[in-house]
Structures are given as structure tokens and as C-alpha cells.
Amino acid sequence: MVAQVPVLDHPAEAELFADVLTCEAWLPAGWRGGDRQLPPQAGEALLRSIATAEDARSSDEGDERNELPQAFQRLEAKVDLMLNLIGRLARQQADALPLRAVRWSHNGLRIDSMQAWNSHLGDAGVALIEPASWLSDHLELPARVIGELATTDGQHHLWLRFAPLSPGLAEALDRHLFRLHRKQIAEARQARQG
């Protein structure tokens, strides 16, 4: 399903999303003041692993998939079910990230919530986001608050600009966002045709 995440009239929207590849999604996401708890290399490793898994899966979805023995297809389906189950169990923990509307680019992200963020312009901390729905693991990206807005519909919007990322993490994030964008275009096309 294509995410319905609104574009808002706020200076931070233009700062983070003007003239760059942008993705909208409903993902587990959050914000925490303070320093990272994971090493900086963990985010790059997570995004590269997701890319490897999704690239392998997308190449299997062509004609080659029909050539795989049925036993391998069943095994892959069972692994998918196990990953989904483990992900659901992990999300039931008290410290699981809540599902939120997110708009993001390689510059930063906007997270929408029904609760106030209690942050201030310039606050430094960590943007937390689960980049893949099938994997209950999250990225920690250093960020700074560049905007906050409460709208009349009860939503609280928080704009976060990423701190300079290492070249490897920046490249892995760009690749991940490109993959999400391509997937959203394909889903929108299917929705129009179906």
C-alpha cells in the first residue's frame, strides 16, 4: 500500500526535501535526545544487509524463481513467516518503536505523532527508524531538530536534519531510499491498474 503522508507548508520541508529523492512510509520511528547507543558502523551494516537480501529476493521474483525447486520456494516462504513472527514479537516489547508516518530523504526526516515531542530547535539526538517492515531492527542516525509543528488535527510533526554521515552510511542510505522510492512507484502503478 502506498503511504499517505502529507506534504506540509513549513520551511523545514523545503530544507530537507526540496530537489532530492523523498520517500513516504508508515514505519516504526522515533526520536531520542542524547548520543547513539549503537556504533556508527551498525547502521551501514544494517542497510547493506537489507540491500543484499532485497536484491536477492527481487532477482528471484523473475522467471528464475519458477525454475527453483519447490522445496526451496517452501523453505523461503517458511523463513519469511518466521521473520514476520519474530518481528511482531519484538515489536510487542515495551521499548518497541511506534508505527508513525515518516517522510525522509538523505538530508533528514519528518516524523508525525499524536503526542507532543517535547523538543526544542537545535536539540541534538538520534533519529530511530526501522528501515524494513520484515526486520525488527532499527537505524540510529545522529540528527538535530530543525522544526516542530502541532496542527489542528492533533498531529505533532518533528523535522530532523541528519548530522554529516560517513560516506559508506550516506551511500547505503541513498541506495535504500532509491529502493523504497522505486517500490512506491511500482505500488502506485499497480493501484491505478488494479
Which of the four pLDDT bands, split at 50, 70 and 90, describes residue 3?
low
Eight-class DSSP state of 146: E
Mean pLDDT of the region 118-128: 94
Which residue in the block uniquely carries the three cell numbers 530511530? Answer: 128
Task: Round to whole Å and give the CA distance between 148 and 159.
Answer: 6
Which set of grid coordinates corresponds to residue 37? 547507543
pLDDT at 65 over 60: no
- The domain limits of the chain are 11-193
Give pLDDT tens digits for 144-184: 999 999 998 899 999 999 999 999 999 999 999 999 988 88
Mean pLDDT of the region 11-15: 95
Give pLDDT tens digits for 94-104: 568 899 999 99
pLDDT at 57 over 70: no
Q: What is the pLDDT of residue 82?
A: 73
Give pLDDT tens digits for 36-45: 888 878 889 8
| Model pTM score | 0.80
Beta strands of the chain (E only): which ranges? 23-33, 99-104, 108-113, 124-129, 139-150, 156-162
pLDDT at 115 over 60: yes
Average model confidence (pLDDT) across the chain:
84
Which residue in the block uniquely carries the three cell numbers 522515533? Answer: 30
Q: Which phi and psi (to 5°) does residue 123 adopt?
A: -60, 135
Q: What percent of the chain has pLDDT over 90?
A: 49
Mean pLDDT of the region 130-135: 82
Which of the four pLDDT bands, split at 50, 70 and 90, describes residue 80?
low
Mean pLDDT of the region 120-133: 92
Q: What is the pLDDT of residue 96?
A: 80
Which of the four pLDDT bands, split at 50, 70 and 90, describes residue 81?
low
Q: What is the pLDDT of residue 56?
A: 67
Q: Which phi and psi (to 5°) does residue 188 adopt?
A: -65, -40
Q: What is the pLDDT of residue 190?
A: 86
